[in-house]
Amino acid sequence: MIIDLPSTTTSQLNKKLVEIRERGGAVALGRVLTLVIVAEDDDQLEDAIDAANEASREHPSRVIVVARGARTAAARIDGQIRVGGDAGASEVVVLRLYGPLVGQARSAVVPLLLPDAPIVAWWPFAGPKAPASDPIGQLAQRRITDSAAEKNPIRSLRTRAKSYQDGDTDLAWTRLTNWRAQLVSALDLPPFERITGASVTGEGDSPSTELLAGWLAEYLNVPVTRVKSTSAQGIVSVRLDRRSGAVELHRPDGKTGTLTQPLQPPRRIALQRRDTRECLIEELRRLDPDEVYEAALRGLAKLSQPKRKPASSTTGRAGRKAKV
C-alpha cells in the first residue's frame, strides 16, 4: 500500500503511521533499526528502496528516504508512506524536500526516528567526503557509502580514508567478502610459507580492487603492487608470492575464478559479482566499528606505484555500476 501526502509535515506523517498501524495491524515494535537513505537521483531512487525492502526481510526496520526537490521551489515536504507488499518487512517513509528545506534533512528525519533503535545512514549514490561530519551521518551509529557510485571512485575512497571514523564503511569493501574468504582459506593449506610479495590486478577505477590491495598490504606486511587493467572489469586476479610458488586467484570473466597453488590441484570457485541487496544485508548485520576495513584503508598508503596492464580483450567499462 502506498499513501501520498503532498505538502505535509513530519507530525502529520507520524500521525498517519499510527493510524495505519491501528487500522491494518502493521507494527513498528519488531523493528530492529532505522535505515536512513539519502538519495538525489530519482531514476535510481527505486533501486535503493527495493534493496532496502529486501534487506528488511532479514533486518526489519523503518526506512526513511530523503530525496531532494527543486531548491528554487517554495518550502514544502512531499511525503509518501509505503507498507505491506510495497515495503517488504519494513515501513518506508519517503520525504521529498523543496526550497530552503533541502538543507534541513536532519531536522526532517529526527521526528520520524524509532525510539531506542540504532540508526544506519546509507548514501547509495554520491556521498559526503566525511560521512561522520554530515548532518545525517552524525545521527547514525553506522554510515554506509559506495565509492563505486562516485564520479571518481579512487579519489573518493582515498578522501574518506583520511576522514574515517568508527562506524564508517563502504559497499566497495563489502563486495570483497568472498575474495577475502577464498584467499584466507588458501593460505590455510600446505605448504605453510611466508608470503614475500603480492600483486592485485583490476580495473583502474575499481575501489574494491584498491581496498583488496590495501588489506593485503596491511595484514601481510609485504610489498603489494596494484596493477591497473584495461582488459576486464572489477577485480581480475590476486597473486601471492612465496618460495615454493605463487598462490593465484584469477577471475577473467567476472563470474568464476580459478585458484592455483603449489601441492594443490586447481580449483574452480564461484566469484559472481555481489549485488547491492546482498551487500546491504551483510552490512546491517553489524553495528560495531569495522576494524578490518579501517586497516584496509591504512594499507592504501603502502601500495606501490600503479602500473597499467595492456588490453587483451574487448571487454570495456559500461555505466557507473559497481564491478568487483
Segment-wise mean pLDDT, segments of 10 residues, the chain, 324 residues = 94 92 63 90 83 91 93 94 78 94 95 94 94 97 96 96 97 97 91 93 96 97 94 92 95 94 92 94 94 97 66 42 70
Give the tens place of pLDDT for each residue, 204-253.
999 999 999 999 999 999 999 999 988 788 999 999 999 999 999 999 99
Residue 191, preceding peptide bond in cis (omega within 30° of 0): yes
pLDDT value of residue 117 = 92
Q: Where are the alpha helices (DSSP H) in the chain?
A: 10-24, 42-56, 105-109, 153-162, 171-174, 177-187, 207-220, 276-283, 291-299
pLDDT value of residue 96 = 95
- To 10 degrees, what angle do helices 207-220 and 153-162 make? 40
Q: How far apart are CA 88 and CA 54, in angstroms?
A: 6
In the structure grid, which three cell numbers stand for residue 107, read together? 531536522
Q: One-letter amino acid identity for 88?
A: G
pLDDT value of residue 23 = 79
pLDDT value of residue 307 = 47
DSSP 313: S
Backbone phi, psi, residue 98, to 5° = -125, 155
- Cβ 120 vs Cβ 145: under 8 Å: no
Place of cell 531506542: 116
End-to-end CA distance of the chain: 36
pLDDT value of residue 263 = 85
Torsion of CA 167, 173, 179, 182, to 10 degrees: -10
SS3 assignment, position 256: strand
CA 225 and chain centroid, separation: 25
